[in-house]
Amino acid sequence: MQQRPKGSEISRYETLKQVEKSTGKTPKDLLNAPKLRSEAQAIWILFCELTQASYTELASYVTMTGISLSPWEVEAVMKLTRYMGEELQRWPPKLQH
């Protein structure tokens, strides 16, 4: 939900938040969105912003933003990156005939 659709300047989440703000009603997709614990939310946003997380890219992020990452946050991003890579190798699923 934090990723930006191709050609879009904002994420799906940001779009839904704008709809909520302008209409005063929370969209169904936003109500049904998975909830992250507050300590995990920042790391998820970081993961979505990085194209391909590597230790070098994370070090550059820390240097450029001044935001420090704890060891568990670095490991979480790296595990998500590995998992995403594995899932993308299985996509698209093969159709059964």
Residue-wise pLDDT for 47-94, tens only, equals 777 767 788 888 988 898 898 889 998 898 888 888 877 765 665 555
Q: How many domains does the chain have?
A: 2
Same domain (yes/no): 55, 88: yes
What pLDDT was estimated at residue 90?
Answer: 62
Q: Are residues 29 and 46 in the same domain?
A: no
10 Cβ neighbours under 8 A, 6+ residues apart: 4, 18
List of E strands, the chain: none
Q: Are 30 and 42 contained in the same domain? A: no
Domain identity same for 25 and 67: no
Residues 51 and 20 in one domain: no
Reported as a single tens digit per residue, the pLDDT across 31-41 is 887 787 887 87
Q: 74 and 30: one domain?
A: no
14 and 50, same structural domain?
no
Enumerate residues 6+ apart whose C-beta is below 8 A from 16: 1, 27, 29, 30, 33
